[in-house]
Amino acid sequence: MNMITFESARAATIKSSPSMAISMAAKAMRAKGENVVDLSLGEPDFDTPVHIVEAAIDAMRRGVTRYTAPDGLPELRVAIAAKFKRENGLDYAMDEISIGNGAKQILFNAFLGTLEPGDEVIVPAPYWVSYTDIVILHGGTPKIVPCGVEDAFKITPERLEAAITPKTRWLLFNSPSNPTGAIYTVEELKALGAVLARHPRIAVMSDEIYEHIVCGSVPFTSFANACPDLKDRTLIINGVSKAYAMTGWRLGYAVGPKDLTKVLNKLQSQSTTCPSSITQVAAAAALNGPQEFVTRAVAEYKARGEIVTEGFSAIPGLEVRAPEGAFYLFPKCAAYIGRTAPDGTRIDNDTALASYLLTAGKVATVPGAAFGVEPYIRLSFATSRDNLAIAIERIADALAKLN
């Protein structure tokens, strides 16, 4: 008998990414010949712009294939600083920048480097699936604040104040939001900042990875721009994955106080050493180069968002709020919980509903439970209009068959 235990107690406290697991299940079904429409994964369906690919090819030909400093190539750090100055009106020095293998690694490093056992991180729900597990993995305690469709999916100053304890270390939030598409207005950010101003020990982690994907009338505002007095304790997380269709390139970046970025870069030096040198050159080309691709992609996301909002709003029993940004719809599906599928299976929760939609409707979605609230389903509209039309029809048909 093998007496070796390969999973530590710490690793056992978290689960695999639910959205990735569902996407893999959908891919497996398609590999068997089943015609599945995958609305589970938040990944642009466009190819990376040619000028970015060419920059990477040129980097390889020039021999930019060796280690870089843990905090990245100077040309990329300059491009990141220029981006924040140009687009957000924010000034950051070279030693206030950290670059990682995707924005997820930045989150990982930030919590690894700052959390002590028992420290609390306030996380408004719905939240991106990995936030709470990353906090738990590093000894922290997520303090989840539910914010449903009736709250426009956003935390209020009153709820933020009520969630703060002597153990609170961070507020972590995402605008535009995955999974809801909600965007905090500048007034809402200032109101949250007023609360945090009374609690100087609390830092802010603002995940702004969907910054450019604005689909409605609410403009994006960076937290540090809305609350400049809190800039010295704010970490802004961003990256090139969503705006430039570069998910597989794995490049995220963050800006914040140099005492914090110094810690992040130290951890980077002991983990992956540095991001890919080739990807760094490509990311600099993305930030410095023409932005027409972003404009065209966002226009298409906006059109798709209108299609899914209209289509799913027409399905009886779904409560739909139009997304203001990102490329997700997050309808509430309480009317279908407790019903029974044609094969006799009871739909006890949104996880069961998502499973039913995959097996019976051949559409992959992610249950709200994965994002900390129930009962909802997340639908990514980062796919073709034809796929969205098929998905709307299939889901409507599958829901109509529930008794």
Q: How is domain 67-288 classified at the architecture level of CATH? A: 3-Layer(aba) Sandwich (3.40)
Ranges of the chain whose pLDDT falls below 50? none
pLDDT at site 2: 67
Q: What's the Cα-to-Cα distance from 372 to each of 22, 234, 240, 268, 318, rounded to whole Å?
A: 17, 24, 26, 29, 19
What is this structure's pTM?
0.94
pLDDT at site 27: 81
Positive or negative: CA dihedral 246, 249, 250, 253:
negative
Q: CA-to-CA distance for 17 and 46, rounded, in angstroms?
A: 23
Q: Which residues pair with 206 in a beta bridge?
A: 173, 236
For the chain, what are the domain ranges?
A: 11-47+293-400, 67-288
pLDDT (tens digit per residue) in 106-136: 999 999 999 999 999 999 999 999 999 999 9
pLDDT (tens digit per residue) in 163-181: 999 999 999 999 999 999 9
Largest CA distance in the chain: 64
Omega before residue 367 within 30° of 0, cis: no
Q: What letter represents residue 31's amino acid? A: A
Q: CA-to-CA distance for 75 and 99, rounded, in angstroms?
A: 12
pLDDT at site 24: 80
Look up the CATH number of domain 11-47+293-400. 3.90.1150.10
Q: What per-residue string of b and e applies to 235-264 under the rule 16 or more CB within 10 Å gives b?
A: bbbbbbbbbbbbbebbbbbbbbbbebbebb
pLDDT at site 5: 82
Write down the mean pLDDT value for the chain. 96
C-alpha Rg value of the chain to the nearest Å: 21
